[in-house]
Amino acid sequence: MTPRRKRLLVVLGILGGVAASVALAVMASRENIMFYYDPSQVVAGKAPLTKRFRIGGMVVKGSVARNPGDLQVRFVLTDFAHQVPVEYTGVLPDLFREGQGIIAHGTMSRAGAFVADEVLAKHDEKYMPPEVAASLKKKAALSPAAQGPTT
Protein backbone atom coordinates (compact mmCIF):
# COMPACT_ATOMS: atom_id res chain seq x y z
CA MET A 1 0.00 0.00 0.00
CA THR A 2 1.42 3.37 -0.94
CA PRO A 3 1.78 5.96 1.85
CA ARG A 4 -0.66 8.13 -0.06
CA ARG A 5 -3.36 5.47 0.02
CA LYS A 6 -2.61 4.82 3.67
CA ARG A 7 -3.15 8.50 4.47
CA LEU A 8 -6.40 8.47 2.57
CA LEU A 9 -7.57 5.49 4.60
CA VAL A 10 -6.62 7.21 7.86
CA VAL A 11 -8.56 10.32 6.86
CA LEU A 12 -11.57 8.29 5.78
CA GLY A 13 -11.32 6.35 9.03
CA ILE A 14 -11.40 9.56 11.08
CA LEU A 15 -14.34 10.97 9.14
CA GLY A 16 -16.15 7.64 9.33
CA GLY A 17 -15.51 7.40 13.06
CA VAL A 18 -16.88 10.89 13.68
CA ALA A 19 -19.89 10.22 11.46
CA ALA A 20 -20.60 6.86 13.13
CA SER A 21 -20.39 8.24 16.67
CA VAL A 22 -22.60 11.18 15.72
CA ALA A 23 -25.12 8.83 14.09
CA LEU A 24 -25.18 6.50 17.10
CA ALA A 25 -25.64 9.41 19.52
CA VAL A 26 -28.41 10.92 17.40
CA MET A 27 -30.18 7.55 17.18
CA ALA A 28 -29.97 7.05 20.94
CA SER A 29 -31.49 10.45 21.64
CA ARG A 30 -34.08 10.12 18.87
CA GLU A 31 -35.40 7.03 20.57
CA ASN A 32 -35.67 9.03 23.75
CA ILE A 33 -37.56 11.83 22.02
CA MET A 34 -39.82 9.54 19.99
CA PHE A 35 -41.03 7.42 22.86
CA TYR A 36 -42.06 10.36 24.98
CA TYR A 37 -45.70 10.88 25.88
CA ASP A 38 -47.61 13.17 28.17
CA PRO A 39 -50.53 12.03 30.35
CA SER A 40 -53.14 13.23 27.83
CA GLN A 41 -51.64 11.05 25.09
CA VAL A 42 -51.50 8.10 27.46
CA VAL A 43 -55.13 8.54 28.49
CA ALA A 44 -56.10 8.83 24.80
CA GLY A 45 -54.42 5.47 24.19
CA LYS A 46 -51.69 6.84 21.96
CA ALA A 47 -48.85 5.39 24.04
CA PRO A 48 -47.65 1.85 23.31
CA LEU A 49 -49.18 -0.79 25.57
CA THR A 50 -46.43 -3.36 25.36
CA LYS A 51 -43.32 -1.27 24.77
CA ARG A 52 -41.31 0.81 27.17
CA PHE A 53 -41.75 4.54 26.82
CA ARG A 54 -41.22 7.73 28.74
CA ILE A 55 -43.91 9.79 30.35
CA GLY A 56 -43.44 13.36 31.45
CA GLY A 57 -45.55 15.58 33.63
CA MET A 58 -45.99 17.21 37.00
CA VAL A 59 -46.40 15.32 40.24
CA VAL A 60 -49.87 16.16 41.53
CA LYS A 61 -49.74 17.84 44.90
CA GLY A 62 -50.80 15.54 47.71
CA SER A 63 -50.71 12.44 45.51
CA VAL A 64 -47.42 10.96 46.69
CA ALA A 65 -47.99 7.87 48.83
CA ARG A 66 -45.09 5.88 50.19
CA ASN A 67 -45.20 2.33 51.46
CA PRO A 68 -43.83 2.25 54.96
CA GLY A 69 -41.07 -0.36 55.14
CA ASP A 70 -39.97 -0.45 51.50
CA LEU A 71 -39.09 1.95 48.71
CA GLN A 72 -42.37 1.70 46.84
CA VAL A 73 -43.90 5.03 45.88
CA ARG A 74 -47.16 5.85 44.15
CA PHE A 75 -48.02 9.22 42.75
CA VAL A 76 -50.13 10.81 40.05
CA LEU A 77 -48.69 12.62 37.03
CA THR A 78 -50.58 15.40 35.32
CA ASP A 79 -50.22 17.67 32.31
CA PHE A 80 -53.06 19.81 33.68
CA ALA A 81 -55.53 18.09 31.34
CA HIS A 82 -55.32 14.42 32.23
CA GLN A 83 -53.79 12.32 34.97
CA VAL A 84 -51.92 9.02 35.03
CA PRO A 85 -51.07 7.05 38.18
CA VAL A 86 -47.46 5.97 38.47
CA GLU A 87 -45.86 3.22 40.56
CA TYR A 88 -42.15 3.14 41.27
CA THR A 89 -39.85 1.20 43.55
CA GLY A 90 -36.46 2.69 44.21
CA VAL A 91 -34.58 5.75 45.32
CA LEU A 92 -36.04 8.98 43.99
CA PRO A 93 -33.84 11.87 42.87
CA ASP A 94 -33.37 14.70 45.35
CA LEU A 95 -35.44 17.07 43.27
CA PHE A 96 -38.46 14.77 43.28
CA ARG A 97 -41.26 16.45 45.14
CA GLU A 98 -44.90 17.31 44.72
CA GLY A 99 -45.48 19.93 42.07
CA GLN A 100 -42.18 19.05 40.36
CA GLY A 101 -41.80 18.17 36.69
CA ILE A 102 -40.52 14.64 36.23
CA ILE A 103 -39.88 12.10 33.49
CA ALA A 104 -40.51 8.41 34.20
CA HIS A 105 -39.32 5.48 32.13
CA GLY A 106 -41.31 2.24 32.11
CA THR A 107 -44.40 0.44 30.80
CA MET A 108 -48.17 0.53 31.27
CA SER A 109 -49.67 -2.11 33.54
CA ARG A 110 -52.95 -3.86 32.74
CA ALA A 111 -54.58 -1.89 35.52
CA GLY A 112 -53.84 1.34 33.66
CA ALA A 113 -51.01 2.53 35.89
CA PHE A 114 -47.57 3.40 34.64
CA VAL A 115 -44.95 1.15 36.22
CA ALA A 116 -41.70 3.08 36.21
CA ASP A 117 -38.23 1.63 36.59
CA GLU A 118 -36.54 5.03 36.41
CA VAL A 119 -37.73 8.41 37.60
CA LEU A 120 -35.83 11.55 36.59
CA ALA A 121 -36.61 14.98 37.98
CA LYS A 122 -36.57 18.10 35.85
CA HIS A 123 -35.89 21.53 37.13
CA ASP A 124 -36.28 24.96 35.64
CA GLU A 125 -33.72 27.67 35.06
CA LYS A 126 -34.84 29.67 38.08
CA TYR A 127 -32.63 29.80 41.10
CA MET A 128 -33.29 31.60 44.35
CA PRO A 129 -32.33 31.55 48.00
CA PRO A 130 -34.65 29.64 50.35
CA GLU A 131 -35.80 32.83 52.09
CA VAL A 132 -36.98 34.34 48.80
CA ALA A 133 -38.74 31.11 47.86
CA ALA A 134 -40.47 31.06 51.23
CA SER A 135 -41.76 34.60 50.86
CA LEU A 136 -42.87 33.89 47.29
CA LYS A 137 -44.73 30.86 48.52
CA LYS A 138 -46.50 32.97 51.11
CA LYS A 139 -47.69 35.32 48.40
CA ALA A 140 -48.65 32.40 46.16
CA ALA A 141 -50.74 30.92 48.96
CA LEU A 142 -52.98 33.97 48.69
CA SER A 143 -53.55 33.31 44.97
CA PRO A 144 -53.38 29.56 44.27
CA ALA A 145 -53.11 29.94 40.49
CA ALA A 146 -49.84 31.82 40.68
CA GLN A 147 -47.63 28.72 40.84
CA GLY A 148 -47.97 27.52 37.27
CA PRO A 149 -46.21 24.73 35.43
CA THR A 150 -42.56 25.24 34.64
CA THR A 151 -41.88 22.81 31.85
Q: Is residue 14 near other proteins by the rule CB under 8 A?
A: yes
Q: Is residue 126 near other proteins by the rule CB under 8 A?
A: yes
59: part of which helix (H) or strand (E)?
strand 53-59
Query: What is the sign of the dihedral through the CA atoms of 17, 22, 27 and 32?
Result: positive
Q: Is residue 64 near other proteins by the rule CB under 8 A?
A: no
Q: Is residue 96 near other proteins by the rule CB under 8 A?
A: yes
Rg of the chain over Cα atoms, rounded to whole angstroms, equals 22
Q: Is residue 130 near other proteins by the rule CB under 8 A?
A: yes
Cβ distance to other proteins smaller for residue 128 or 146: 128
CB of 148 to other proteins, least distance (A): 14
Task: Give the separation between CA 136 and CA 73, rounded to whole angstroms.
Answer: 29
Task: Give the separation between CA 34 and CA 53, rounded to whole angstroms.
Answer: 9
Cβ distance to other proteins smaller for residue 69 or 130: 130
